[in-house]
Amino acid sequence: MKKNIICIFLIGILVGCSEQTVTEENWEVSPTFTIKSGDRERELRGYKSEVAFLDTMDFLVDKAGKTRWFFWGEELEEVNEEHFKLIGIHKNTGEEKTLIDSKGWEVVSQNYKETGIKGVLGAQSSQHTMFTLPTAGLWRLNAYISDKLYGSIVVEVEE
């Protein structure tokens, strides 16, 4: 019995140490990574094989930005039935703002499926979004599908 409890404890520690996503204490701007899609290099912000978005937005106060989010998870489908929610939390004020609450998932053309960026990334699901952030500073973007948090990405918004 003691060995089982110790094993469970150690597994919990290992899983916790291997997490790449942002924790409540970590407010560093999330990293970027580059992938090659066709003849273009694309930069994404977030965590490959978890959650990331195309790093195409200038994060400026009240300036709408458009990007595409990518999600990995065997339980996901290309077109999910659950809501996609994006909730932003401001570091200094604690202000929480629902940025996206959508049930409309992107449908990818069958001809584009494997050659597009989603196919190159191996993501199970993706979603185009457009949103704004109201104040300057660090924001944690929590990406949910249904009630499951798929990951958090920290960005810095400038005046």
Confidence of residue 118 (pLDDT cuts 50, 70, 90): low
* Nearest-angstrom CA–CA distance, 127 and 106: 6
Q: What is the largest CA-CA distance in the chain?
A: 57
Angle at the Cα of 34 from the Cα atoms of 97 and 30, rounded to 5 degrees? 35
pLDDT in tens, 53-70: 999 999 999 999 999 999
Neighbours of 30 (CB within 10 A): 23
pTM given for the model:
0.78
Mean residue pLDDT of the chain comes to: 81
